[in-house]
Structure 1
């Protein structure tokens, strides 16, 4: 994080170890280490959002979207059908089935000829009080049925809002009628299956299984998520179902992507196919992992409806830069530090080149009960000596660890301030663009009423 200060390998008051000062790759799709930290923080955010919404009197649903798939279908094609295509130099972005759910007059309502929303022209969105959703895309794969990408979304309804874009805010909550909820469920099922049919009839599920709705009925439902986030390993609760794909194991003979990676590691490490976890040959797992890498490039794993966070009083964002901010914050959660060493940048590079970084962090743990700073330093120095880097270590007392840690936290705070300023600038720029678009639309409508619209010649 800061080449001038290197890293700190330290022991916490609980006897565990932590390495401070390292940057992370932040690749939520591809890196098991970063994915675990990012998804844990995202799961906490989702829990907070659902609890906050239910406290306000709103209603939340966990909605799962799936597509029909077979072993001959490419993951990229399925992802395009669900999420939409990515913008390239040669082609604009095309919406997928997900985007079709929240567009169109039946959903959003239709405007009167004067451009204003009429009371009798409300859409399903207005009748159910749709506020926004948090979407997460998950992928599994099997040898028989191939790739199975699917979307989990927590949808917040039962709210009335005022304002537009960055000024939008919730003014009241209400209980949607049973008729309006049934209309919503039927509409989304119809749109989802219809959109997939247009892309590829093979992808079209039946309406019963393509979209599944589960309601979170009480605040306790949402509060219980926090315990599951900390303890559960199979992700059966809404926030965890959404965010913690890194903890899951797939069903029906399918595997999660990190299980592909784990089997690749086992097989290249000399284990037999019978002894290694997972399924398939090394060649099959490598081919599927490489296909997964290509198909997920540039896509968001977890995404919030724009401005939903601000309506719920939450900070942050869901870009790659925000993921890195979360990782830096996670590093700052190590708790009280009582002994450790400072290692120069060159020294740490020497350690990682020899793949001794795990041994160095384990050496900082208090497994032998000796937590004296000098003893901790000696254990770590012995590991670094294997990389010819023992002279790059400075042993720190608990007070010195705290001082060095505080300096790192100051650097982290500065990074977060810069990130917040960046988000404010982006929001202000978006608002200015929206204002300019609104002025142009008003001018165009005014000219049309006067019959003096732009000349065609």
Structure 2
């Protein structure tokens, strides 16, 4: 990130070693390391927002959307059906809405002021202010890809203004008739659109399974109310703990920690088995299931299917409406990642000059550096010995106090922000130069 500062390995209050000053890929779909940290930060963000909304009198629902799927279905086709197609200017392809976008369009939902019978629509009757959507993917040999959406939907709000100027003026409890109308409408829209895209994607309208949680309403859309102060407190307790599948914010954001059931695997479980098998672990001892050629095909299809899509997305203008900063972009993910690192309480650390770091990694000694930093005592001499053995001088490694770690990393983040702002200015200038004149 900053050649002058090099790389800092800091030891946290818990004794863990974290690398500061190294750029991160920030790929929430593809990188197990970055995904875990980003989803951790995003889950905290979701929890804070929903907790605050419930405590001021609003209501929230965890709504899960699924499509019927089979081994013959391709992931990209399923993702297009639920999330919509991706725009490709080079190929002349326009974006086509998916079932998710269809939920929040149309006169029945948005209302029609020209018609006295429905001027405010379902949206107005339930006090909809927005939702936070997270898309999750699992895969199994029997039934193939299973992409599905978890959304926390915030309702019960009175607002004034439009777009970025909208503000909340109060909260209320939507009546049961309006909530039932909403649930019925979304189920109908979701199943109808999937059926139009591909009849085999259409979820069942009714369910015959005894004691099923859908209560006979079908498997396409599931609603779970979060409407009490206790719900808010339960959300507050979530701080990146082991996935148990019961916490709404956990369910929404922490796909990195899930282990899919029923013989299904998460993408990172697929990746883990690929790593085991390519590393020489036997089929029986490797995690997950399936032969290597099949797993490699799965991962390649997964990369293509999620490319260009957002894993977690907030309704436009919802963040400022709730008094929150940030955005859903990859740069926003990086801000979350770097912010989590900077939030640690550091015990000490070591600074490694840039050239020395390259020599260490060139000899695969970066793990040895981590091991020397972690634990009860930081062994700075061991890090120096490793650098010397890699061909660097002893002065290429410097021990740091907690204050020095914090100051050094703050400086790195400041320089990064300045570079990003300068790059944004250059992009704006380039766009202005190529824009057609009046």
TM-score (norm 2): 0.89
Name which of 186, 189, 195 aligns with 2:187. 189
Q: After TM superposition, give the deviation of residue 13 of structure 1 in Å.
A: 4.2
Contact kept in structure 1, 2:71 and 2:144, CA below 8 Å = yes
Q: Which has the larger radius of gyration?
A: 1
Alignment pair present for 1:218 and 2:225:
no
1:3-152 alignment, distance < 5 Å = 3-88=3-88, 89=90, 90-112=92-114, 120-152=118-150
Q: Which residue of 2 aligns with 1:163?
A: 161
Distance 1:13 1:174 in 2: 44
Distance 1:245 1:118 in 2: 44
Alignment pair present for 1:252 and 2:253:
no
Unaligned runs of 5+ in 2: 206-217, 428-438
1:162-311 alignment, distance < 5 Å = 162-207=160-205, 208-311=218-321
TM-score (norm 1): 0.85
Distance 2:69 2:122 in 1: 30
Deviation digits for residues 274-316 of structure 1 (CA, Å, limit 9, x no counterpart): 1101010011111000100011000000000001111111111
Alignment pair present for 1:378 and 2:381:
yes
Distance 2:55 2:340 in 1: 27
Structure 2 CA distance for partners of 1:122 and 1:10, relative to 1, 3 Å: closer
Q: Which residue of 2 aligns with 1:358?
A: 367
SS at 1:202's partner residue?
A: helix
Q: Which residue of 2 aligns with 1:409?
A: 410
Deviation digits for residues 99-125 of structure 1 (CA, Å, limit 9, x no counterpart): 00000000000132xxxx868522000
Deviation digits for residues 13-45 of structure 1 (CA, Å, limit 9, x no counterpart): 443322211110000000000000000000000
Contact kept in structure 2, 1:235 and 1:245, CA below 8 Å = no
Q: Which residue of 1 aligns with 2:209?
A: none
SS at 1:98's partner residue?
A: helix
SS at 2:310's partner residue?
A: coil
Higher percent of residues as helix = 1
Distance 1:9 1:193 in 2: 51
SS at 2:2's partner residue?
A: coil
Structure 2 CA distance for partners of 1:259 and 1:214, relative to 1, 3 Å: same
Distance 1:100 1:242 in 2: 21
Contact kept in structure 2, 1:6 and 1:345, CA below 8 Å = yes
Contact kept in structure 2, 1:159 and 1:170, CA below 8 Å = yes
Structure 2 CA distance for partners of 1:421 and 1:347, relative to 1, 3 Å: closer
The total of aligned residue pairs comes to 412
Contact kept in structure 2, 1:382 and 1:390, CA below 8 Å = no
Distance 2:317 2:139 in 1: 34
Contact kept in structure 1, 2:360 and 2:387, CA below 8 Å = yes
What's the C-alpha RMSD, in Å, of the aligned pairs?
A: 2.2
Contact kept in structure 2, 1:65 and 1:151, CA below 8 Å = yes
SS at 2:186's partner residue?
A: helix
SS at 1:102's partner residue?
A: coil
SS at 2:225's partner residue?
A: strand
Name which of 332, 340, 358 aligns with 1:349. 358
